[in-house]
């Protein structure tokens, strides 16, 4: 189905199943521990051996010698894979560093060996007996020090409009401030894990992966085997946050280990390897300059961001939102990328906007204060309904003002005292903060197969994944709505590369695009069903398990009485989306208490008001947003990978040292979705919320802390030492 004109009225608009707060259809499997995750697939193939990954003990340099004798002789050891034994390997498109290093080492804990043994303990024990001699070379590990040498990254030119420098210099009110955000870890619950089994030259990987299609391609490219010889299976994933967008060493080494061992091999990365062997959100240094007239109109806005990555890596695109969020005739955004020899940086929940808004939305708060304006008023005054860099492009929907206004009313913003440190309750200094939330809505093609059987059961198959987001449920709702059957007549099967290629889970594009693909396949099936049941060209109605037209109604199941009916189709986008800017918006509100003596910050209330197209399932969407708000609170107050700047690795590589919020850290969270349908986004008229929820939260916390204390912290996380 080609989507090239705004969606008119369609079966989804009935909203008998879609749009209803619906429990997860996979919930019982999750809560009873019976949803099988990759590492737990003991049942799928016999004779599984255990692989243990050994990570490099230096960040940069060479292996000069590996002594395997003790490891090979250790009990239970079946085989050991290294770069030397593995033979020539390619590199996947989505990996910056090699997944199996040696003799050259590109980053700390880059995999250098996989020990395969009869048990997990034996594999781990033997791995500790491998003696590796290294010749270390000096590397660059400190972003601040490497900033000078940073250069423009490939494909990321500066953008702007007007003459930023002159307009900023001439502005009566100016802000020029620099903010920093640290490296962060996805810290998902389920580790990266895979089971690999070969059948001749055919490889099956049960693996935790957000993007099945990308994974197949990257495995093919790395192992130099045809894509059709690879099957990836990933029906349940215990969190991804971008860390599982790409195939990692667990999958590649399980495949290599299984080949070498001649039997299936399973590999899970232990927590330190998740931190230093996989990807992380890169640290940023962000300079923001805003110039405005005395009455608060922005005349110049500039955002520059510095981040680092391995050679040929990518920048953290922290300036993205600044291109689109506020009006202003004179603009500049620029990103500079430094070479760092830390583990590879890549996407983590709302890459770009999450750290970008942590800076921009403090800057907006600071600027409002300079102007003597309410920070909500300042944002409203500088709203834009068109892309400010390309004024011919309107936003398809943009309800930022409504988000901020409704949030202000709901949160009791009028009670906020503009003068910092003016509210005290016992030992607590109390303050409120606000920030805008912004994240783009990406459209990308997505396909599905839909089958109807003689019992009237509709089965949907697509290689789409559910990373805890609720995909199973919204896909079932979409198929139920379109085929006119109750939810319990729909079976959803996900995460298998044998199914039609979907958009996958990433960039908050999953909800809108995957359901649109399922909708397209259902519409194709409807046509076939209508024809089979003898209806004429006027589309009959599909509802209550019946197909009807005029007074004539036939059970849907009848169409499949002589055998199953099936249709495969997908959504493909023409250039409609290029004529409009599609984005999602939020207003984030936070109240904090700060202990006047110790500087301890306690969150007291959080509110997000979101405008993100049609909300397909308010219950799972709310779960996405409160989870993201929690992650935003972590980013504001605690999350930070500490860099060892001499040896080049992340020191706090476990969940004891890498702090994330616990229940006791999080107060009551409220989420409001504005009524919105966006006919430009897809036939679903939906967008995504999984990333929007984190965008802006950190700055709202920072601004609340400033309002409570009068201490402006521009360096995240805002730990208590920075407040004293």
Residue positions annotated with a catalytic role: 691
Please tell me the distance from the alpha carbon of residue 529 to that of residue 534, in angstroms, as a whole number.
9
Q: Quote the least distance from Cβ 191 to ligand MOS, whole Å.
A: 16
**Sole residue written with tokens 């009959």:** 540
Contact between 693 and ligand MOS per CB under 6 A:
no
Please tell me the distance from the alpha carbon of residue 364 to that of residue 201, in angstroms, as a whole number.
58
Q: Quote the least distance from Cβ 623 to ligand MOS, whole Å.
A: 16
What pairs with residue 67 in β-bridges?
Answer: 131
Q: Closer to ligand MOS at the Cβ: 242 or 634?
A: 242
DSSP state of 642: P
Please tell me the distance from the alpha carbon of residue 475 to that of residue 574, in angstroms, as a whole number.
23
Contact between 437 and ligand MOS per CB under 6 A:
no
Q: Choose one: 167-175, 238-246, 475-483, 582-590; the region binding ligand MOS (CB under 6 A).
A: 238-246
The values of phi and psi at residue 406, to 5°, are -65, -40
Q: Closer to ligand MOS at the Cβ: 265 or 694?
A: 694
Q: Closer to ligand MOS at the Cβ: 183 or 374?
A: 183
Tell me which of 74, 230, 274, 348 binds ligand MOS, using CB under 6 A.
348
Q: Closer to ligand MOS at the Cβ: 277 or 279?
A: 279
- Contact map string, positions 370 to 389, toward ligand MOS, x by CB under 6 A: --------------------
Q: Quote the least distance from Cβ 242 to ligand MOS, whole Å.
A: 2
Q: Quote the least distance from Cβ 358 to ligand MOS, whole Å.
A: 15
Q: Quote the least distance from Cβ 396 to ligand MOS, whole Å.
A: 21
What is the torsion angle, in degrees rounded to the nearest 10, for the CA atoms of residue 288, residue 423, residue 721 and residue 411? -60
The residue at minimum Cβ distance from ligand MOS is: 242
Q: Choose one: 56-64, 241-249, 533-541, 713-721; the region binding ligand MOS (CB under 6 A).
A: 241-249
- Counting residues that bind ligand MOS (by CB under 6 A) gives 11
Find, among 416, 414, 418, the residue nearest to 405 by Cα.
414
Vertex 413 angle, CA 438 and 721, to 5°? 75
Q: Closer to ligand MOS at the Cβ: 38 or 265?
A: 38
Find, among 237, 308, 255, 271, the residue nearest to 99 by Cα.
255
Please tell me the distance from the alpha carbon of residue 678 to that of residue 403, in angstroms, as a whole number.
16
Tell me which of 60, 192, 248, 349 binds ligand MOS, using CB under 6 A.
349
Determine the 3-state secondary structure of 672 from DSSP.
strand
Please list, residue by residue across 158-177, b when 16 or more beta carbons sit within 10 angstroms of its beta carbon and e when fewer do: ebbbbebeebbeebebbbeb
- Residues 183-212 touching ligand MOS, rule: CB under 6 A, are 210
Q: Where on the phi/psi map is residue 93: left (φ > 0), alpha (ψ -120 to 50), or beta? A: alpha
Tell me which of 245, 522, 608, 684 binds ligand MOS, using CB under 6 A.
245
Tell me which of 160, 235, 351, 495 binds ligand MOS, using CB under 6 A.
351
Task: Report the relative pairing of strands 202-207 and 546-549 from DSSP bridges.
Answer: unpaired
- Contact map string, positions 489 to 528, toward ligand MOS, x by CB under 6 A: -----------------xx---------------------
Tell me which of 182, 240, 648, 683 binds ligand MOS, using CB under 6 A.
240
Determine the 3-state secondary structure of 671 from DSSP.
strand
Contact between 613 and ligand MOS per CB under 6 A:
no
Please tell me the distance from the alpha carbon of residue 677 to that of residue 667, in angstroms, as a whole number.
30
What is the torsion angle, in degrees rounded to the nearest 10, for the CA atoms of residue 442, residue 447, residue 448 and residue 449? 170
Residues that bind ligand MOS (CB under 6 A): 210, 240-242, 245, 347-349, 351, 506-507
């Amino acid at each position: 189905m080609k989507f090239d004109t705004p969606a008119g009225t369609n079966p989804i608009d009935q909203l008998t199943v879609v749009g209803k707060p619906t429990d997860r259809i996979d919930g019982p499997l999750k809560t009873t521990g019976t949803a099988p995750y990759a590492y737990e697939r003991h049942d799928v193939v016999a004779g599984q051996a255990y692989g243990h990954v050994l990570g490099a003990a230096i960040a940069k340099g060479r292996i000069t010698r590996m002594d395997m004798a003790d490891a090979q002789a250790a009990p239970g050891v079946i085989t050991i894979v290294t770069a030397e034994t593995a033979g020539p390997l390619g590199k996947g498109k989505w990996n910056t560093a090699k997944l199996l290093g040696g003799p050259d080492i590109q980053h700390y804990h880059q995999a250098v060996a996989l020990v395969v043994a009869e048990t997990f303990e034996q594999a781990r024990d033997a791995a500790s007996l491998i003696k590796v001699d290294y010749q270390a070379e000096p590397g660059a590990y400190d972003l601040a020090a490497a900033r000078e040498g940073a250069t423009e990254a490939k494909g990321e030119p500066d953008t702007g409009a007007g003459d930023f420098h002159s307009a900023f210099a001439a502005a009566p009110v100016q802000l020029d401030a620099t903010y920093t955000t640290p490296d962060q870890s996805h810290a998902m619950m389920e580790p990266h894990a895979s089971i690999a089994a070969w059948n001749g030259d055919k490889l099956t990987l049960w693996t935790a992966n957000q993007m099945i299609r990308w994974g197949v391609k990257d495995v093919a490219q790395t192992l130099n085997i045809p894509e059709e010889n690879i099957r990836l299976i990933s029906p349940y994933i215990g969190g991804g946050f971008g860390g599982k967008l790409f195939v990692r060493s667990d999958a590649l080494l399980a495949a290599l280990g299984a080949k070498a061992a001649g039997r299936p091999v399973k590999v899970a990365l232990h927590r330190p390897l998740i931190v230093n062997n996989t990807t992380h959100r890169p640290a940023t240094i962000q300079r923001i300059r805003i110039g405005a007239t005395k009455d608060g109109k922005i005349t110049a806005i500039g955002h520059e961001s510095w981040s680092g990555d391995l050679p040929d890596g990518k920048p953290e695109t922290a300036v993205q939102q600044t291109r689109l969020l506020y009006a202003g005739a004179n603009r500049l955004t620029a990103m500079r990328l430094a070479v760092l020899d830390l583990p590879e940086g890549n996407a983590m929940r709302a890459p770009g906007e999450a750290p970008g808004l942590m800076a921009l939305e403090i800057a907006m708060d600071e600027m409002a204060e300079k102007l003597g304006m309410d920070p909500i008023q300042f944002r409203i005054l500088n709203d834009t309904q068109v892309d400010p860099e390309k004024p011919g492009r309107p936003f398809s929907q943009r309800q930022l003002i409504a988000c901020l206004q409704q949030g202000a009313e709901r949160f009791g913003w009028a009670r906020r005292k503009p003068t910092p440190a003016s509210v005290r309750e016992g030992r607590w200094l109390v303050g409120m903060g606000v920030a805008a939330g912004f994240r783009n809505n990406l459209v990308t093609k997505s396909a599905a197969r839909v089958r109807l059987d003689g019992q009237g059961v509709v089965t949907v198959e697509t290689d789409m994944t559910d990373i805890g987001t609720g995909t199973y449920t919204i896909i079932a709702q979409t198929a139920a709505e379109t085929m006119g059957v109750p939810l319990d007549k729909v079976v959803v099967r996900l995460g298998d590369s044998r199914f039609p290629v979907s958009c996958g889970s990433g960039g908050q594009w999953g909800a809108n695009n995957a359901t649109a693909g399922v909708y397209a396949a259902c519409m194709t099936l409807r046509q076939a069903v209508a024809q089979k049941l003898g209806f004429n060209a006027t589309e009959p109605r599909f509802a209550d398990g019946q197909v009807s037209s005029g007074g004539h109604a036939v059970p849907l199941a009848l169409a499949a009485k002589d055998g199953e009916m099936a249709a495969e189709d997908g959504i493909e986008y023409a250039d409609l989306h290029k004529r409009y800017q599609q984005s999602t918006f939020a207003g984030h509100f936070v109240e904090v208490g700060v202990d006047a003596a110790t500087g301890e910050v306690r969150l007291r209330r959080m509110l997000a008001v979101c405008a993100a197209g049609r909300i397909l399932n308010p219950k799972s969407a709310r779960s996405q947003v409160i989870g993201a708000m929690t992650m935003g609170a972590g980013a504001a107050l605690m999350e930070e990978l500490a860099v060892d700047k001499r040896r080049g690795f992340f020191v706090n590589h476990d969940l004891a040292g890498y702090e994330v919020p616990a229940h006791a850290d999080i107060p009551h969270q409220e989420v409001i979705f504005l009524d919105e349908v966006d006919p430009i986004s897809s036939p679903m008229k939906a967008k995504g919320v999984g990333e929007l929820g984190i965008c802006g939260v950190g700055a709202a916390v920072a601004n609340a802390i400033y309002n409570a204390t009068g201490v402006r912290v521009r360096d995240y996380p805002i730990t208590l030492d920075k407040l004293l």
